[in-house]
Amino acid sequence: MNHEDLRLWSKRAADWAADYHAGLRDRAVRAPLVPGKIAAQLADTAPELPDPVEAIWADFERIVPDGMTHWQHPRFFAYFPANASPASMLAEQLTNAMACNALIWQTSPAATEIEQKMVAWLAEAVGLPDGFVGTIHDTATTATLSAVLTMRERALDWHGLEDGLAGGPTLRFYASAETHSSVDKAIRVAGIGQRNLVKVPVDDDRAMTGDALQAAIRADRAAGLVPAGVILCAGGTSVGAFDRIGDCIGVAKAEGIPTHVDAAWAGSAMICPEFRELWAGVEGADSIVMNPHKWLGAQFDCSVQFLRDPGPQVRTLGLRPSYLETAGREEIVNFNEWTVPLGRRFRALKLWFTLRAYGLEGLRTRIRNHVAWAIEARDAVAALPGVDIVTEPRLSLFSFALADEAATAALLQRINDDGRIYLTQTRVDGRLAIRVQVGSFDCQREDVMIIAKTIKEMLAQWSTAPSASP
């Protein structure tokens, strides 16, 4: 296959893509779960001689689409979305064609400079004050790891990088139990140790408060431990919990401890001023992560980290060996020095296309619709007999359950086997609950209204089934 073949097949791929998206509503959202079924259809070894593209293409069509969970399906209500606007897909096609590596400015000047601009556009769009800069990572996991490594080194006065952690003080980090597992992972990878991530108790609203944080820090100081960082939850993955961001940042600042805010999902909603109350005080944070790939239409992967001052992070993660120097251009930004990997994709292009193709107002309308439809869906689900709302809508996320845990699990399985919608589970104070979040880029009100209709039908089939169980 050569570049002329690529021209032909790319046109075919564009048609395939358009048909695929137009037909998504006719597909089950989730792939049937039969482990090994896909692998069994592939040859056991790589071919010695070239396969014709026709054959590769035919196998793709035969094997892959039916083996996928369709993340861009308008009735994908599971996890959090990885929503992708058509404009971002177009940008990714161009990025694919250039196949660049944006490791330093010189290797892709446009990628670096558009990335700087997009971070600035987005900082303003979510209401952050002047002065924040930032970078685009693959995922929030990487952004949070970068922030944790930086906080670690600040606490160690940058000795950890040279000397390692052995024999040093016991560093302590603070977060609520509602924070994402990526925070635990960052703490583990950074050599802090899980037991030194203090899970501060939350209040009735599942929020870490300034007082609770203060108490935890005080107890640690009294025990001779060294508080090193606070990680705040702005829109938890389980049920959308928000810590008291402003209060906690106030406590951390008074204690001289840096802060990182995880707004991976909810950050996108902050382009709507009416939701900013939820993270009030965020402008005091040292670092904030949000994923435009979750709810802003800039497809996976696109995770933006805002930094009040990039200096500490660049000092922690930046290395500039002679083979990465750009002669006579010492002042330019080399984004690999802001993050863990050296090689980097050109992720800013899809953000540029998306923000321009819909405008902030177009994106706000989508998010406002999702939130309003989630509230409608909550009311329709609450009206079903035997169904309890476990957590009320937080932005576009709520959860529900049946009285009996086994019945809740069985209901979830029936819903997902039915295929019209896709939901996933969590635990709320130990109780199994089914999460509903609305955020697919193309979803319409009718798609959301199918949630309660499907649940109602599943419950009705159940009560008439001969061996109704459990």
User: What is the binding site for ligand PLP (CB under 6 A)?
Assistant: 80, 139-141, 180, 182, 235-237, 262, 264-265, 291, 303
* CB nearer to ligand PLP: pick between 182 and 354: 182
The least CB distance from residue 313 to ligand PLP, in Å, is 17
Q: To the nearest whole angstrom, how small is the minimum distance from the Cβ of residue 330 to ligand PLP?
A: 32
Q: Report residue 382 as tokens.
A: 């609450």
**438 CB burial (10 A radius; 0-12, 13-18, 19+):** buried
Instruction: Quote the least distance from Cβ 190 to ligand PLP, whole Å.
Output: 15
Q: Which is nearer to ligand PLP, 140 or 374 (CB)?
A: 140
Which residue carries 């402008």 as its tokens? Answer: 283
Closer residue to ligand PLP in complex, CB, 159/427: 427
> Could you write out the DSSP letters of every residue in 328-385?
T-TTS--GGGGSS-SS----HHHHHHHHHHHHHHHHHHHHHHHHHHHHHHHHHHHTST
Report the candidate in 61, 58, 67 with the shortest Cα–Cα distance to residue 38.
67
Residue number with CB closer to ligand PLP (70 or 435): 435
Write out the two tokens for 207: 């929020």
State which residue, 28 or 347, has the beta carbon closest to ligand PLP. 347
Q: Which is nearer to ligand PLP, 112 or 182 (CB)?
A: 182
Which residue number, 87 or 175, has a Cβ lying nearer to ligand PLP?
Answer: 175
Closest to ligand PLP by CB, 153 or 262: 262
- We find the least distance from the C-beta atom of residue 236 to ligand PLP, in angstroms, to be 6
Q: Which is nearer to ligand PLP, 264 or 390 (CB)?
A: 264
Q: Nearest-CA neighbor of 227 among 169, 313, 161? A: 169
d(C-alpha 153, C-alpha 188), whole Å: 15
Closest approach, Cβ 221 to ligand PLP, in A, equals 28
Residue 329: other Cβ atoms inside 10 A: 12
What torsion do the CA atoms of 127, 128, 133, 139 make, to the nearest 10 degrees? Answer: -70
Task: Report the helix count and the strand count for the chain, using DSSP H and E.
Answer: 14, 11
Closest distance of CB 278 from ligand PLP, Å:
13
Torsion of CA 344, 349, 354, 357, to 10 degrees: -170
DSSP code, position 469: -
Shortest spacing between CB 81 and ligand PLP, in angstroms: 10
Tell me phi and psi for residue 82, to 5 degrees: -120, 70
Whether 93 and 84 have beta carbons less than 8 Å apart is answered as no
CB of 173 to ligand PLP, least distance (A): 15
How far does Cα 210 stand from its chain's mean position?
26
Minimum distance of ligand PLP from residue 93's CB (angstroms): 22
Q: What is the closest distance, in whole angstroms, from the C-beta atom of residue 142 to ligand PLP in the complex?
A: 7
Peptide bond before residue 470 is cis, with ω within 30 degrees of 0 = yes
Peptide bond just before 301 cis, omega within 30 deg: yes
Looking at the Cβ atoms of 209 and 237, the one nearer to ligand PLP is 237
